[in-house]
Copies of this chain bind each other. A is one copy, B any other.
C-alpha cells in the first residue's frame, strides 16, 4: 500500500500517518520527492481499509498494491481450482477441460413440466439441471417459487434423469435444507453482497455457484468469494450474469471480458449465464457461443418446455429444441479451442433408462 501525501502536507502529518501504520503492526518506507512525500506500507496490508488511511490529515490518496483478497487470488492456487460435484449418480468436474452446461426452468412450477424439461435438456446434452425453488422476485406480488416442495421435485428429477441439481438459496436459515436436496448451491445476483448468507454457505462443503452482483465490480465479486473460502468451503464457482448499464435493449449487459479477467486474477472456475445476461431468447445462443470462446468453464441456461406459459422469465427461455442447437454450436466452438462438453447428459439418459 502506498500513501501519497499532499504537496502541502506538514512533517507532523507525515509522522501521523507513519504512527497509524506502525500501530497496526506494519512497517513503512518513506521517500521524499520534490513535490510530495510517498509512504510505502510494508507487511500484511490486506486487513487495512485504505479509506482509514485516506482520512488522515495531509493524505492525498492511498494506492493499494496488493489485491485485497488472498484465498481467491490466483497465486493461492496457480494451477487452478477444480470443483467436484458429487451425487448418488456420479460426479462431475468443473474447471477442467470439459465445459459443463446446466439447463432447466427459471422456476420449478409443477412436477410434470419439470420432469419433461429435465429429460429434454439431459437428452440434448446438459450435464446439470437448474431450477429455482426459492425465487427472489422484484415484486411481492410475483410468483415466489414453490419452496420446499420445489426442492422435492428437483430431487425426484435428479433421480429420474441422473442429472445433478443446482438451485438458489436466499437466506442463511435455508442453507441446511437446500444443501440436503441440491448438489450445488446458487447465490443469486441480488445476494452477492449478503454476507451472512455467504458465511452460511461457507460453513458447508457444498459447491457454490456465486453469481456476480448486477452492480458489483470484479474485485467485490472476488471478495464475496473470499467470504466463502475464508469460511472453509473451497468449492466456489463464479458466474457472470450481466451487469446493469445505461443500455436498456438487453436486460443486462453481459460482461464477457470478466471471464478472462477472473481467470487471470483468480484460480476459481467461471461460468456464464447468457439467459439473464441478455433477457432475450434470440440472443442466448450467440452469447453462449461467445462465452465459450471467451474461456468460460460452464453455462447456466434457462430452458422451458413451453416458454410462453412459463411463470417467470419466459421471454428469455429457450425451447428444448433451441437448447439442442445451443449444445451443438457450443460443442463446435469448444472443440475448435481444444475443449469439449461434459457429458453427464448421456449418463443421465442411461440412469433413467436403466431405471425403467
Contact between B196 and A171 (Cβ–Cβ < 8 Å)?
Answer: yes
Contact between A282 and B253 (Cβ–Cβ < 8 Å)?
Answer: no
How many copies of the polypeptide does the oligomer hold? Answer: 4
Residues of B within 8 A of A16 (CB): 308
Contact between A247 and B312 (Cβ–Cβ < 8 Å)?
Answer: no
Chain A interface, >50% SS class: mixed
State which of B171, B248, B255, B260 has its C-beta within 8 Å of the C-beta of A286. B260
Bound CA span A237–B106, Å:
33
Contact between B295 and A293 (Cβ–Cβ < 8 Å)?
Answer: no
Contact between A223 and B65 (Cβ–Cβ < 8 Å)?
Answer: no
Contact between B257 and A278 (Cβ–Cβ < 8 Å)?
Answer: yes
Chain B nearest Cβ from A280, distance in angstroms: 8
Q: A176 at the A/B interface (Cβ < 8 Å)?
A: no
Bound CA span A282–B57, Å:
13
State which of B55, B65, B261 has its C-beta within 8 Å of the C-beta of A308. B55
Chain B nearest Cβ from A60, distance in angstroms: 7
State which of B243, B281, B314 has its C-beta within 8 Å of the C-beta of A253. B243
- A2-B4, A213-B215 known; A260 vs B245 contact (CB < 8 Å): no
Bound CA span A147–B247, Å:
32
Residues of B within 8 A of A261 (CB): 249-250, 283
